[in-house]
Chain A
Amino acid sequence: MQTTFTDDQLKDPGIQRANDILRACVHCGFCTATCPTYQVLGDELDSPRGRIYQIKDMLENERVPDAKTVMHIDRCLSCLACMTTCPSGVHYMHLVDHAREYIENTYKRPFTDRALRWILAQILPYPMRFRWALIGAKIGRPFRFLMPDARLKAMLDMAPRSIPPVSRNDDPQSFAPVVTKKMRVALMTGCAQKALNTDINDATIRLLTRLGCEVVVAEGAGCCGALTHHMGKAKESHATAAKNIAAWCAEMDGAGLDGIVINTSGCGTTVKDYGHMFRNDPLAEDASRVSGLAMDVSEVLMKLDLPEGDAKHTVVAYHAACSLQHGQQIKTFPKELLKKAGFTVVEPADSHLCCGSAGTYNLMQPEISGQLKARKVRTLEAKNPDIIAAGNIGCMMQIGSATDVPIVHTVELLDWATGGPQPRALTEPGKKVPEIPILR
């Protein structure tokens, strides 16, 4: 596509990058077909192609965006289905991230918007604050009818019924492999995930050590920065990301690392992008070392020797998290692993479509998110699964809130199949108890 940036504008590395991306786009419109918001809203402005056009217009003219433009960009889930679809290799993620930062710097949002976004940025990345907020939300839920804003209601609704106690496994330490050591990996324990669900990290540690990994929880690592990054709050996201880079580089330069394992795919996409985020920063080299070692837990497991399990006649519907299938282009590994462990794996129709969770999206855009959730649950339930498995806590919360089919993290099933405990979600009150297969 033609662009009209001046030479002066192109001196800015951010604009330079945006220009390269825009020049690759041929405006063919293929991306509209797989964009969840376009499916729901049917408006060019709420499609990747339309957003690219709005971003182009905004950046070229150095225009302060109006409320409508911001609305259409805000409605983007960053699910990146468009990048999977794009025949021309347009890097939409970098473009929309740049646009979000531009909006954050130039556009003054209405007060309630700013307040909400500030609160989320102050709470979600911090597990302790988030835990208290969840407890508060649980207490506050009976008063939801008093809430003036659908988004506040959504926040109350999102809080789980039970909030797990802190897991000491998430503290900095090292777990020795159970069998001969094959590799040494750092586990990213995350932020929101460990406040909402401590089973995932526990299962990951058990599974990896059982398969020959030394698992390190690095001192100083925390939130990956994705939540604030997607709000355009570059300063905050870079600050948390920098801490991680420092923490993991220390491990790399110390006892050495063969991988940085991430079991929340939303975080994985961001950590793998550190190299780009810090490309014009003194941390550039370290950041790309970190990105180079970052792996989704399913990628690590493919390198290890997961034992083959007997057929269990348990039907697992695999929900592909967007950050995994589109952001990291990992499409087959989780299914292959589940099959290898003996599960019968099915997939919903339109598996490329987002469930509407998308970080804070379900909180900020409850209406669209709700429609996507209903659609996803409908297509999943149509496959009559015993269990739903996913590789991202956000999706698990989103889908879990609307179905009585139990939903678990892929690693919990793999851990269970290789000798770990039965996932807690399978016996959770209010969920259908699947017929429990005989496991080793």
Chain B
Amino acid sequence: MEMPAPNPEVLAKKARVVAQLQDVLPRSAVIFEESETRAYECDALTAYRCPPLAAVLPSSTQEVAAVLKVCHAEGVPVVPRGAGTSLAGGAMPTADSVILGVARMTEVLEADYANRTIRVQTGRTNLSVSGAVEEEGFFYAPDPSSQLACAIAGNIAMNSGGAHCLKYGVTTNNLMGVTMVTMEGEIVEIGGAYLDASGLDLLGVICGSEGQLGVVTEATLRILHKPEGARPVLMGFDSNEVAGECVSDIIKSGILPVAIEFMDRPCIRATEAFAGAGYPDCEALLIVEVEGSEEEIAAQLERILAIARTHNPVELRESRSADESARIWLGRKSAFGAMGQINDYMCLDGTIPVSQLPYVLRRIGELSKEYGLDVGNVFHAGDGNMHPLILFDANKPGDLEKCEAFGADILRLCVEVGGCLTGEHGVGIEKRDLMVDQYAPADLDIQMAVKDVFDPKWLLNPAKVFPLASSETRRMAVA
């Protein structure tokens, strides 16, 4: 992956920059020795790595502002980082950048049950936001697979989704307000515990901007009362096509499951070997979950099962207890770990129109043979958000490059059938150079024009999202 050459001036003044950072932060919050910065050289995408100039761990919005003022004045790029769980390399540094981690900012500032909102510092993990309101019966709906570890800051940056967003929406649909620090170090409040924007929807464009417009330090999030119960049903089919049709029929029927998850045969087999969840050995498997009271669940499942039966399933397993539900979900939740047991993997994230599922899965199968790399598919079928996992051997020279080429082909295929490059992981570094396959130059230009407004010096999260060639004139203009 091509990266811009680090700014030699910045590299040369490392000591001065570090000293200034130490002036505004506690000692333990400034990390600059080489043996230490290395641990910050990548996030959950390890294929691309580069140790930063330094890493800082502020504990408050004021400290974040102080750091940004220093970096802005010195012209040092800043890479914001939540929990470092990005699969797209969203928090990967450059050699001349300072990593700004919000991991120390984990406080719950206010839980307001009457208005159904919670205000948190953004270093707090997604799951612990729900944890903070659990005793009162509430939860925070967006549930990315990494919800145990991922931070709200990263969720906002990437507009993260999750298995249950079919019903509850993704981050942007559950985000009401933020405190953000601009690259200049100015603290701004956008939105709050009320709905919609008064003027332009700045919150809407900040969410999903991959940390390139500002550093979000606090967020007001919508919380909901937990449903009375939830129960999944597991369905096995003897072809991907049939499973795809079943998904479409369920959606059309008017029942809104909270999740429809899809696994294909390679993934089912890997998962069975690793977690032993008792899945049937079939071509395609769906997990459909519905919520409500016992009676409501029964009524919904009855409809869903009736639809499923019209597609001749090889297996229909309705959960009848918490234990059985956990077993049905066990395999799905261990899928990534299971694939990781076989080999290194690259996890893609393209979204396609649901109607294209069978065709795209068939093409992925063909490409898999051409490239000689195995691939397993596990994904959120209700919304067409695919997660092909391409297996490769990181220790085998050339394998990563082959995997990248295969991945790019799959993503281009997603765009070709009317979908997009990424449904919930973000562009980051990983899909940066594929942006031209989805957007025309002018479409990218207008997005970059937004960055010009928020970050005129182009210092925030450099070299991400936009192909280097597309952003070159802008970067050169301020260099």
Contacts and interface: CB of A to CB of B under 8 A. Distances in A.
Decide if A and B touch, CB cutoff 8 A. Answer: yes
Contacts, number: 104
B39 A44 contact: yes
Interface string A9-34: 00000000000000110111111111
Interface string A77-104: 0000000011111000000000000000
Interface in B319-344: 333-334, 336-337, 340-341, 344
Contact of A87 (B84, B106, B334): B334
B301 interface: no
B36 A68 contact: yes
B36 A26 contact: no
A126 interface: no
A45 B52 CA distance: 14
Interface stretch (B42-50, B61-69, B171-179, B445-453): B42-50
B361 interface: no
B155 interface: no
B93 to A, nearest CB: 12
A139 interface: no
Nearest to A52: B39
Interface centre among B33, B36, B127, B395 (most CB of A within 10 A): B36
A371 to B, nearest CB: 13
Interface residues of B, number: 39
A65 B127 CA distance: 35
A24 B341 contact: yes
Given A42-B106, A44-B101, A87-B334, A30 B146 contact: yes
A44 B345 CA distance: 23
Given A1-B46, A53-B38, A85-B148, A43 B31 contact: yes
A66 interface: yes
B148 A26 contact: no
A329 to B, nearest CB: 15
Contact of B344 (A2, A43, A45, A53): A2
Interface in B330-384: 333-334, 336-337, 340-341, 344-345
A3 B395 contact: yes
Interface centre among A30, A86, A88, A89 (most CB of B within 10 A): A30
A32 B83 contact: yes
Contact of A27 (B44, B106, B337): B44
A406 interface: no
A32 B28 CA distance: 18
Interface in A148-169: none
A54 interface: yes
Interface magnitude class on chain A: 35 or more
B39 A45 contact: yes
A57 B336 contact: no
B149 A33 contact: yes
A279 B96 CA distance: 46
B442 to A, nearest CB: 37
Interface string A106-149: 00000000000000000000000000000000000000000000
B314 to A, nearest CB: 28
Given A2-B46, A33-B127, A68-B33, A26 B57 contact: no
A87 B336 CA distance: 8
A44 B44 CA distance: 12
A43 B340 contact: no
Given A44-B103, A53-B39, A54-B35, 18 more contacts: A26-B44, A26-B345, A27-B43, A29-B44, A32-B84, A33-B83, A33-B127, A43-B28, A44-B84, A45-B36, A57-B35, A57-B38, A66-B35, A86-B337, A87-B333, A87-B340, A88-B337, A89-B274
Interface of A: 1-3, 23-24, 26-34, 38, 41-45, 49-50, 53-54, 57, 65-66, 68-69, 72, 85-89
